[in-house]
Structure 1
Amino acid sequence: MALVTVLLSQFCLLSGCAVGPDYRTPPPPATETYTPTPLPDQTASSPGASGVPQQFVARQDIPAQWWTLFHCEPLDALIREALANSPNVAAAQAALRQAGENLRAQMGTTLYPSVDAKANATREKFNGVTFGQPGLHRILNLYNASVNVSYNLDVFGGARRELESLRSQVDYEGFQLQAAYLALSANIVTAAAKEASLREQIEATERIATDEDAQLGVLRKQFELGGVNRTAVLSQETLVAQTRATLPPLRQSLDQTRHQLAVLAGKPPSDTGVPEFRLSMFTLPQSLPVSVPSSLVRQRPDILAADATLHQASAQVGVATANMYPQLTLSAGYGPQALTPAGLLKYADMIWSIGAGVTQPIFRGGQLSAQKRAADAAFDQANAQYRQTVLLAFQNVADTLRALEHDATGLRAQTEAWRAARDSLDLTRGQFRIGGVSYLALLDAQRQYQQTVVNLAQAQAARYADTAALFQALGGGWWNDTATSQAAQATSAPAPASAGPQ
């Protein structure tokens, strides 16, 4: 049995075998499209800068700094500041460094032998009974210094699988960092577009309230002259109050959005350095990339992170499998031994030792087989979670593509509704002045116009927000960011061995 073990060990050392599965990334879903029906060549158009048509371009690459396509320098500056100061990004960077150091630590014990300097001093009473001389008793001091070397032969690849697992953890944290970059930039673009929309809604509501207040003044004069009854004046007063009542919630949402932008940038909400955003500051990107599904699984950080988790689970199956095989250890020691400390520095008797050990698990009460089954179950769980992540990513892209299509048609419809409501209000006001329509008709026209103004501002902002959502859904172009890739490699790559204690 010992001979078989030695021969098997030598064979494994020469061939570099490692038990357990060799990981392969699962294939992407067998589909070439995200939606059941084809996308239009371009979205609908409507008047204004927010209404330009957008084209879907298949296989077009995404720039790393995709937010610059909105051509808003204050937005670019805020994102640069946020990427540098965000606590979430700093936490992700620290997690990546931690994973890298854990990998280096494991590499130190796996790839290299352990070398330790050791010094001992003992005082003992010697009894000659052991040597057949019961009357011999001596007390002596014994000093020795030695260098001890030990090395675990990774015959069945358990240590290598552990390194593979830790490398996968480094990959996972690296993709989590990219996800933090992507989420932060997308959240800032979305919040900036929301702020711009809220400012449009507030300003439009204030203008409407001013017009309605002026109309109230006209009605009061007409009431004094007997042209209208008291009910018309009260109805207009109610309308003015209702319009002004919509302003506090809008201002509250604006304040909350401003606070959100400050925190996203790594600042307290009280900071006054966050720029103010308006819709006129943004340019809507007209060319939108649409990555093919087979490329999406290699782009989105969340999919790549799930893939790294699956890889780690696969490596742990190898670790659990290797633990069921023999473990081989080599050890050696060499150093002087003397009866006095000074003797260690002079000529002294040298002692040495060379040893090899084999540990073969025989009975562990089912522990090792249970650990192997648990590792298999963890792999199955990670595999299911990976497939779910891919499906949700595809849904995310499909939802965003359809949202962009419907945003464009919705904006066109809202623009037409706003134009019709504005013309209707102007016409109704003119007719009301000459007594051509009742006050109820004027009141209804004012309410319709007020609602279309708010809806129009929301529809305009939706196009910018969903455009940012598409870039986020497709992965954000992080693979084109040379600076970020180099920084991640520098953070996670193993460092060369250096002299001194490690």
Structure 2
Amino acid sequence: MKTNPLLKFASPSLMPLVAALVLAGCAAPELRAPELDVPSGYKEAAVTESARWKPAQPAEAQPRGEWWKAFNDSTLDKLIEDATTANANLATAAARVKQARALAGVAEADRIPTVGVEFSGQRGRGSPVSLGLSQDTAVVPVTAWQGRLTASYEVDLFGRVANNISAAQADAQASEATYRSVLLALQADVAQTYFRLRAADGELAVLNETVRLREENVRINQRRYDLGDLGELDLARSKTELSTTRSDAIAMERQRALLEHALAVLLGKPAAAFSAQNNPLPESAVLPGIPAGLPSALLERRPDIAAAQRAMIAANARIGVARSAMFPALRLTGAGGYQSEDIADLFMWSSRTWVVGALLSLPIIDGGRNKANIARSEAALEESVADYRQSVLAAFAEVEDNLVGLRTLAGQAQSIDDAVASARRSAELANKLYLAGRSGYLDVLDAQRNLATVERSAVQLRGARATTTVALIRSLGGGW
């Protein structure tokens, strides 16, 4: 008798090889980290001799520390504490973490058998034909009571369960990283809004002082006009400047109120129930110096990059889940219990019943559904890789933006300090010359207008340096 070549091929010595090839065909592909052009240092940062590139290590779960305390502001400390406790967006992110962890638990439940209890009762009458009897045979109704224990278990032959668990766990980790990203964004938003509010207080203080000077000028000019020592033109000019400055002050009050309302929302409070104390940024305010560190460290600390990385891992695992659908699925089932016509006899030993079974299913014709699912999963992985690359590029750009922002703002601050000193001296001299009758009132107006403009610019610059410092901390992942 001739030996079947298929049976010869499937000899016991070759079965391990066949099984390995089949398992390799349905397993998730090996995930390789995308090629990234990580610079050795930031272009806008001063690179020291000790700064060297180093391979990134996962560290997104490292504690960032209370970075906002570097500003030495107890009010800011309390605001961030309140926001962390009551912010609605943060609560939403925390709820999503719980959902993702629960879904991971659902996936992990497939590792163990499903066991349940069934109890049923029914009464019915079958037709004689269905029972193999003649059509005119009388069939009596039958009552059946049943109580049994059932069990079911899927044998993970081709990694569907394992890959599904890996994907769910990666999703949970991505959700946790997203939560940390939302937390960092909340803390930074509170700090930036707080400093913008203090800058608005500073501008309002400048405007209120300017209004006071304008009112004094109007009183002096009105007295001189009444004495015939001054023409009506200078009096009209002083009144115009007073009204214009008052209008600017009212506009600044509106801007401050909007910032206060925005801060209330971040704190999880109604806008009507929150009021921030007037607290202008002083000229002597000292901001912490933030070392940028190495670009490779950014990949370790940014929670949004960690979330994108975990999304890649989940997408890769789902390719394995899609591939496993092309191969047989084996499910073991069993049930044991009692069945009786009379409920009183249900749990008698003679009423016992049991059944054990195995179901092996393999798709043959599915219209290309499984192949399409594999293609979709592979495309989803490509999308997640592109998102990861974009997240890294955007992170590097944010750090560079904030570094150049701090560098240029520091240069502006030096120039604006000189300008403030010159403008104050110019206003002082112009006022003395005017009171001595050696210059016109227009010179006084120009000098005072320039002083107010420069002082407002100085306050705005102090606020911009504070908010940019916070932005740099945020772009570095919330710590250094």
Q: Which residue of 1 aligns with 2:41?
A: 33
Contact 2:23/2:158 (CA < 8 Å) preserved in 1?
Answer: no
- In structure 2, the residue matched to 1:167 is 169
Cα offset for 1:16? Answer: 10
With over 3 angstroms needed to count, the CA separation of the structure-2 counterparts of 1:40 and 1:195, relative to structure 1, is farther
Greater CA deviation, 280-289 or 457-466? 280-289
Partners of 1:426 and 1:341 in 2: CA distance: 107
Aligned to 1:19: 27
Whether the aligned pair in 2 keeps the contact of 1:57 and 1:288 (CA below 8 Å) is no
- Find 1:371's aligned residue among 370, 373, 390: 373
Distance 1:300 1:409 in 2: 29
Q: Structure 2 vs 1, CA of residues 319 and 281 (structure 1 numbering), >3 Å: closer, same or farther?
A: farther
> Deviation at 1:121?
2.5
Change (3 A) 1:305 1:276: farther
- Identify if the C-alpha distance between structure 1 residues 183 and 15 changes in structure 2 by more than 3 Å, giving closer, same or farther: same
The equivalent of 2:150 in structure 1 is: 148
> What is aligned with 1:295?
297
Match of 2:317 in 1: 315
Residue number in structure 1 paired with 2:401: 399
CA shift for structure 1 position 439:
2.4
Residues 1:157 and 2:162 aligned together: no
| Letter in structure 2 aligned against 1:161 | N
After TM superposition, list the pairs within 5 Å mapping 1:141-220 onto structure 2: 141-220=143-222
In the TM superposition, residue 428 of structure 1 has moved relative to its aligned partner by 1.1
Partner of residue 116, structure 2: 116
The CA deviation at 1:169 is: 1.4
Between the aligned partners of 1:293 and 1:27, the Cα distance in structure 2 is: 15
Other-structure match for 1:235:
237
For residue 217 of structure 2, what is the amino acid of its counterpart?
Answer: Q
CA contact (8 A) 1:75 1:189 kept: yes
Seen in structure 2, the aligned counterparts of structure 1 residues 15 and 320 have a Cα distance that, compared at 3 Å, is closer
Q: For residues 32-76 of structure 1, give each alpha carbon's deviation from its aligned partner in whole angstroms, at most 9, with x where no partner exists.
A: 1232x55388xxxxxxxxxxxxxx9999x9852100111111211
Q: Does 1:68 align with 2:76?
A: no
Superposed displacement of residue 275, structure 1? 4.7
Alignment check: 8 A CA contact 2:145 2:340 kept: yes
- Whether 1:361 and 2:363 are equivalent positions in the alignment is yes
Contact 1:262 1:274 in 2 (8 A): no
What is the Cα-based RMSD across aligned positions, in Å?
Answer: 3.1
Alpha carbons 1:200, 1:457 under 8 Å: kept: yes
Distance 2:63 2:147 in 1: 63
| Percent of paired sites with the same residue | 25
1:282-313: CA deviation from partner (whole Å, max 9, x where unpaired): 95343313131111112111111111222221
| Shift in Å, 1:445 | 0.9
TM-score with structure 1 length normalisation? 0.84
- Pairing 1:93–2:94 present: yes
Contact 2:174 2:311 in 1 (8 A): yes
Contact 1:99 1:169 in 2 (8 A): yes
- Contact 1:115 1:149 (C-alpha < 8 Å) held by counterparts: yes
Tell me the number of residue pairs that the alignment of Structure 1 and Structure 2 aligns: 461
Tell me, in whole angstroms, the C-alpha distance in 2 between the residues paired with 1:311 and 1:454.
51
CA distance in structure 1 between the aligned counterparts of 2:284 and 2:179, rounded to whole angstroms: 28
Q: Deviations over 1:438-466 (max 9, x none)?
A: 22222211111110011011111111111
What are the superposed Cα offsets for residues 242-296 of structure 1, whole Å, 9 maximum, x if unpaired? 1111011100011111111121111111124655443249953433131311111
Q: Which amino acid aligns with 1:247?
A: A
**SS class of match (2:349):** coil
The answer to whether the 8 Å contact 1:28/1:297 transfers is no
Match of 1:418 among 417, 420, 424: 420
What stretches of structure 1 of length at least 5 have no aligned partner? 42-55, 481-502
Distance in 2 separating the partners of 1:229 and 1:81: 58
**2:3 alignment partner in structure 1:** none
Instruction: Give the distance between the partners of 1:408 and 1:221, measured in 2 at CA.
Output: 45
Inter-partner Cα distance in structure 1 for 2:280 and 2:33:
45
